[in-house]
Structures are given as structure tokens and as C-alpha cells.
Amino acid sequence: MAEERRRFSIGYALAPKKQQSFIRESLINLARERLIDLIKIDTDKPLIDQGPFDCILHKLYGDDWKLQLVDYKAKNPNVVILDAPEAIERLHNRISMLQVVSELKIAQNDRETFGIPKQIVIYDAETLRDHRSWDGLKFPVIAKPLVADGSAKSHKMSLVYNHGGLGNLKPPIVLQEFINHGGVIFKVYVVGEYVKCVKRKSLPDVLEDKLESLGGLVAFSQVSNLANNEMTDEKYYQMMHLDDCEMPPQEFITDIARGLREVMKLNLFNFDVIRDTRLGNRYLVIDINYFPGYAKMPSYESVMTDFFWNVVAKKERREVVENEDNEDKKLVDKFGIEGVCQ
């Protein structure tokens, strides 16, 4: 009789909206076929009383949740936490978020280069009014909340055309120089070693000679949403054919993705990239998000299930090695002979 293969359990702790979009029946069923059971963690009960889990998948914040994860890991050292809270927190600040790009050890060539737009952080209204403190930036600028914690407030951004639009902003904010990029943004999804780049409509280019004649600012929630905003020029998007837009080289994007993964020590994230139309081969990372809307990614169920399987299979191999090492140690202690199990 064939030995029954062991099943793996992955506990997930997600906010209701994220759970609804990500934990779909199609994902649950495909994971189940691969011997992986996705189990909802009851956040009203202590984590330590639930499980046991081979892996914990989460996107919750707060000191209490962090302490629960630490306690669970201490009592279950082989559990895999996706991902470490301290690594995720770096993405909650829009300055430290993009500083990771400068830490990448990737050789750049003449064909494609990358970086980030010029940006500064404004902590108070007085500094916002004092134009001398940020003379290095040119209009237009994107104003983003400094905190990027996934809340609705953190998504409220503005495209500011001139000084007249600054009065409605509320610090602390980040002012990021807007770069014309042909109305296209590239969203790069990372799931472990898997990297997928897709293109979306974005903010239309802004002509410099029209800055003063435009309104002070336009508010929006996400860069890709402004394409549908009533204040944008619909003709711009009718003339622009997204399908004709050339994708960045896959190898180039993959190198950046793997570099970010290594520096941030995260497995689940996406980053937004634009192509500077002034240079053509210059790409700028403008945002990085933890555990994004993967359900928007083509075939997300199979991608996530393959990733889950790699995580739990690697965990099992590590446990086997540890058990073998422990058995060897016991025999050495008993007989004084090394390698008896080899």
C-alpha cells in the first residue's frame, strides 16, 4: 500500500477586503490539489492557540500582531512567516521605501538604466510654504502621504501643477517630481522567484508651457486611476494605444526584482516603473507595495500555489536534514563514531 503523502497547512491572516480579493475558491481548490490547505486564522483568538501551521501568510499590522508572530515562531521554530514584519515596515514610509533602489548591486549598461525620481519629504506647513527649501524640484510634482500603510488615507495623492496647488496639501507628505512617461506605467509583480510585468494606463504627459494655465492640482487614489478621472483629456487615451507600447526588457526587470527581493528580504511585493520619455532607456521606480492585488495578475492561482509548494517543500527538506543531523549526533554521543548513518 502506497504511503499517504503528508498535507501542509498555511494559515492566512488578512484584512477582510484583502481576504475577499485574494482567497478565492479557485485558489483554495488548486492549493488543495497540491496537498496544501489554506486555513483562515481567527484574529479574535490568540495565534498561539491555533494551528499548527507550516507557514503563516499575513498582511496585518500593529504591535500586538507582531508580538503574536514572535511568540508563535519561538514555540514553533520551523514555521515560515511570510513575510517578517520588520521587513514589511520599511515599505510603510515612502522615503525609506525607495531608498532600497539605491542599495541594489546591479551593473547598469548603456542600453537600460534605472533609478528613482527626485523627491523630498515635507513635515510641516511652514516648510511647504517656503519654496526655497525645495528649489531642487520642478513642477509638476506628485504629492503623496509619507505613510504608506495600505489605508485609504495613504492612497490619497495629488498631481500638483504649480505653486497655487500647494495650499490644499496636508503634511507630512512626499513631493516627487513628475516625469513624463507616455501615459503608461509598468507594474511588476514578484512572488518569490517569479516575476511578471504588466502595463497599465497612467497619468498623461504634462506640457511645461501649460503648467500655469492648468488648475492647481488634481486629486486621485492611484496612478492608474487618473486615466478614468473626469479632469483628464479623454482624447489623449483614445490616441494612445496601450498594446503598441513596448515592454521593458524582461531580463532587466527581473534583475531589479531579484535585487529588491534580496535587499528588502521580502517574497511578496510589486513595484511600479515608468519609462522617462526624455531618454527612452531610463526607467524609474516610483512605488513599492507589500502583498499587492495579486488577483489582478494573470493566472495568479497557479503562480501562488507553485510558490506555496516551494516554501513548504523547502521547509520539509530542511526538517529532514535537521532530523538526520540529530540522529547522527545521538549515535556519535552513544558510540563515538561519526557518519554511521551515511
DSSP symbol at 43 = T
Sign, CA torsion 119/120/123/126: negative
- Asked whether 232 and 226 are in contact (CB, 8 A), the reply is yes
179 is in an annotated binding site: yes
Q: How far apart are CA 140 and CA 160, in angstroms?
A: 5
335 is in an annotated binding site: no
272 is in an annotated binding site: yes
Q: How far apart are CA 149 and CA 267, in angstroms?
A: 18
181 is in an annotated binding site: yes
144 is in an annotated binding site: yes
C-alpha separations of 138 from 179, 193, 313 in Å: 10, 37, 51
66 is in an annotated binding site: no
302 is in an annotated binding site: no
287 is in an annotated binding site: yes
120 is in an annotated binding site: no
Q: How many CB atoms lie within 10 A of CB 321?
A: 10
Cell of 274: 515608468
Q: How far apart are CA 177 and CA 141, in angstroms?
A: 4
- 293: three-class secondary structure by DSSP: coil
186 is in an annotated binding site: yes
221 is in an annotated binding site: no
Of 161, 176, 180, nearest to 119 (Cα)? Answer: 176
241 is in an annotated binding site: no
- 13: three-class secondary structure by DSSP: strand
310 is in an annotated binding site: no
183 is in an annotated binding site: yes
Phi and psi of 322, rounded to 5°? -65, -40
- Asked whether 11 and 53 are in contact (CB, 8 A), the reply is yes
- Rounded-to-10 torsion of CA 23, 26, 29, 31: -60
253 is in an annotated binding site: no
59 is in an annotated binding site: yes
Which parts of 209-299 fold into alpha helices (H)? 234-239, 250-264
281 is in an annotated binding site: no
163 is in an annotated binding site: no
Q: What's the N-to-C CA distance of the chain in angstroms? A: 28
Annotated binding site: 18, 59, 94, 144, 155, 176-187, 202, 272, 287, 289, 293
Annotated binding site for Mg(2+): 272, 287, 289
Annotated binding site for 1D-myo-inositol 1,3,4-trisphosphate: 18, 59, 155, 187, 289, 293
Annotated binding site for ATP: 94, 144, 176-187, 202
